[in-house]
């Protein structure tokens, strides 16, 4: 099933670039990150005539930022298991589905607002 994405404004279409980058990386040999939820979502969106490739520099930046952020969250939680991580402005960031570390304290703006 493909979701109709024709109603997206051009600026909103830019959210598909990091989503697509994380999805594509998931299926590479020796991926830097694995994001099954991004892959699932991008497979259900009609991306015909949509910009989903930001180019090599953008893709590398997205993947590097994701990896660095995941590592920092793991380090913070390893040093302080009582820490609370709040991911504001997460957009289509899938960390709320698959947090980079086992912790009930990892919340995003979506779960934070839904819980409180």
Residue range 10-115, CATH number: 3.40.50.150
77 to 37, 74, 85, 99: CA distances (angstroms): 23, 5, 9, 11
Measured in whole angstroms, the distance separating CA 11 from the mean position of its chain's CA atoms is: 18
Q: pLDDT class for 24, splitting at 50, 70, 90?
A: very high
**Domain extent listing, the chain:** 10-115
More confident residue, 50 or 10: 50
Measured in whole angstroms, the distance separating CA 114 from the mean position of its chain's CA atoms is: 19
Average pLDDT over residues 36-65: 87
Task: Give me the DSSP letters along 6-34.
Answer: TT--HHHHTTHHHHHHHHHHHTSSS-S--
- The whole-model pTM stands at 0.71
Q: What is the pLDDT of residue 111?
A: 42
Judge whether residue 45 has pLDDT over 90.
no
């Amino acid at each position: 099933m493909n979701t109709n994405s024709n109603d997206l404004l051009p600026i909103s279409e830019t959210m598909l670039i990091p989503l697509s980058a994380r999805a594509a990386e998931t299926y590479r040999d020796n991926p830097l990150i694995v994001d099954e939820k991004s892959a699932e979502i991008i497979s259900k969106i009609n991306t015909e005539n949509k910009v989903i490739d930001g180019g090599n520099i953008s893709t590398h930046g997205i993947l590097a930022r994701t990896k660095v952020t995941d590592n920092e969250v793991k380090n913070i939680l390893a040093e302080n298991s009582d820490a609370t991580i709040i991911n504001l402005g997460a957009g289509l960031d899938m960390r709320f589905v698959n947090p980079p570390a086992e912790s009930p304290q990892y919340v995003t703006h979506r779960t934070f607002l839904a819980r409180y």
